[in-house]
């Protein structure tokens, strides 16, 4: 198209399919800056000329269509949580075990980034020997060096015949690289669109792991959708981490008050198996 020719776009604005980790990380041997994912993020930091914003919007429209086709007929269980959770930590292992248990019954969807999101995608992806994968990844705990972080994840992917699962990241937070354990990746330019879409597709419900402002935003955005939803469209909200959600960031009492006057379904628990069962697995 003319827009692509004029600006030498590092992406296809007329894309009709979701991404794969191999596609976003192609060329990683030359370092992360050489990959399509990094080059698109660098492009997105440029000026907001009309042709550029139109190209990004057209791309996201195509991702919308591809994602709609992907989720059709699937039971999608969402896992939301903090991007800064390091590999090797207890919180990372908890998120991975949650994703693993949910992955046996649902297609797991996350925000597609690092931290708890990566852990849940990892757990959903790895059908067995999850502890071995966790131990291997702990040697590279963070993504301060994205090249090393992605390579260590891809080493696990290359050895494992994994289960299908979904990541929905955004170049708006391009400093948070997409994790490699989501087999299908719906990556958006516009974060507001991405947030709405991610919450809406999770028809089996969402488990919210301990997080801060971003996770709290997702909690209340999902709460609003469930509060006004038709009876058949209400999906359970499970807050995993009683102390976090009742004391540190006490959103649970407010959600439970809203639930008493609506069809909302809100649970608070410390138990991963209970969280999975509350989504109907």
**What's residue 8's pLDDT?**
81
**Tens digits of residue pLDDT in 217-267:** 999 999 999 999 999 999 999 999 999 999 999 999 999 999 999 999 999
Q: Is residue 175 part of a domain?
A: yes
CATH of the domain at 38: 3.40.50.450
Task: Extract the residue ranges of the chain whose pLDDT is less than 70.
Answer: 1-7, 281
Q: According to the model, what pLDDT value does residue 164 have?
A: 98
Residue 253's contacts (CB-CB under 8 Å, 6 or more residues apart) are 246
Residue 173 belongs to a domain: yes
In a domain, 4, yes or no: no
| In contact, 113 and 169? CB cutoff 8 Å | yes
Task: Give every strand in the sheet of 166-167, ordered side by side.
Answer: 184-185, 166-167, 107-110, 76-80, 205-208, 237-240, 266-269
By CB atoms closer than 10 A (0-12, 13-18, 19+), residue 105 is middle
Single pTM value for the model: 0.95
Written as six digits, the tokens of 41 are 């993020």
DSSP per residue over 191-258, as a string?
HHHHHHHHHHH-TTEEEE-S--HHHHHHHHHHHHHHHTS-GGG---EEEE-HHIIIIIS--HHHHHHH
Q: Tell me if 137 is assigned to some domain.
A: yes
* Interacting residues of 58 by C-beta distance below 8 A, sequence separation 6+: 3, 13, 14
CA distance 166 to 124: 9
DSSP 167-183: E--BGGGTTSPPPS--S
In a domain, 210, yes or no: yes
CB atoms within 10 A of CB 96: 27
Residue 99 belongs to domain spanning: 17-278
Write down the pLDDT at residue 7: 56
Q: How crowded is residue 272: how many other Cβ atoms within 10 Å of its Cβ?
A: 18
- Structural domain total, the chain: 1
Looking up tokens 């009309």, which residue turns up? Answer: 50
Task: Tell me phi and psi for residue 265, to 5 degrees.
Answer: -120, 110
Instruction: Judge whether 7 lies within some domain.
Output: no
Q: Is residue 230 part of a domain?
A: yes
Is residue 24 assigned to a domain?
A: yes
For the chain, the residue count is: 281
The pLDDT value recorded for residue 192 is 92
- Which CA distances in Å does 170 have to 4, 136, 157, 185? 20, 27, 22, 10
Coil, helix or strand at residue 45? coil
Integer Cα distance of 199 and 234 in angstroms? 12
> Which of the 8 DSSP states describes residue 188?
B
> What is the per-residue pLDDT for 148?
98
Residue 234: C-alpha distances to residues 95, 220, 268 (Å):
24, 14, 17
DSSP state of 136: H
**Cβ atoms < 10 Å from Cβ of 167:** 29
- Residue 237 has a pLDDT of 98
């Amino acid at each position: 198209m003319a827009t692509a020719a004029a600006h030498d776009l590092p992406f296809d604005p007329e894309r009709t399919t979701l991404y794969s980790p191999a596609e976003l990380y192609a060329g990683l041997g030359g370092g992360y800056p050489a990959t399509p994912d990094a080059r698109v993020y660098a492009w997105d930091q440029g000026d907001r000329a009309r042709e550029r914003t139109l190209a990004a919007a057209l791309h996201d429209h195509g991702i919308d269509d591809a994602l709609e086709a992907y989720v059709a007929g699937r039971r999608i269980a969402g896992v939301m949580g903090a991007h800064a959770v390091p590999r090797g930590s207890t919180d990372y292992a908890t998120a991975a075990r949650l994703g693993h248990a949910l992955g046996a019954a649902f297609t797991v969807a996350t925000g597609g980034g690092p931290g708890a999101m990566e852990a849940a995608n990892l757990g959903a992806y790895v059908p067995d020997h999850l502890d071995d994968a966790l131990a291997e990844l702990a040697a590279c705990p963070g993504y301060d060096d994205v090249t090393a972080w992605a390579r260590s994840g891809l080493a696990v992917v290359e050895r494992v015949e994994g289960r299908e699962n979904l990541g929905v990241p955004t170049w708006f937070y391009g400093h948070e690289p997409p994790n490699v354990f989501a087999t299908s990746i719906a990556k958006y330019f516009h974060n507001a669109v991405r947030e709405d879409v991610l919450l809406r597709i999770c028809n089996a419900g969402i488990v919210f792991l301990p997080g801060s402002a971003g996770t709290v935003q997702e909690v209340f955005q999902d709460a609003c959708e469930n509060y006004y939803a038709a009876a058949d469209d209400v999906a359970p909200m499970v807050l995993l981490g009683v102390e976090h959600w009742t004391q540190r960031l006490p959103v649970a009492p407010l959600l439970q008050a809203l639930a008493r006057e609506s069809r909302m379904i809100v649970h608070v628990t410390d138990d991963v198996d209970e969280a999975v069962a509350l989504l109907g697995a």
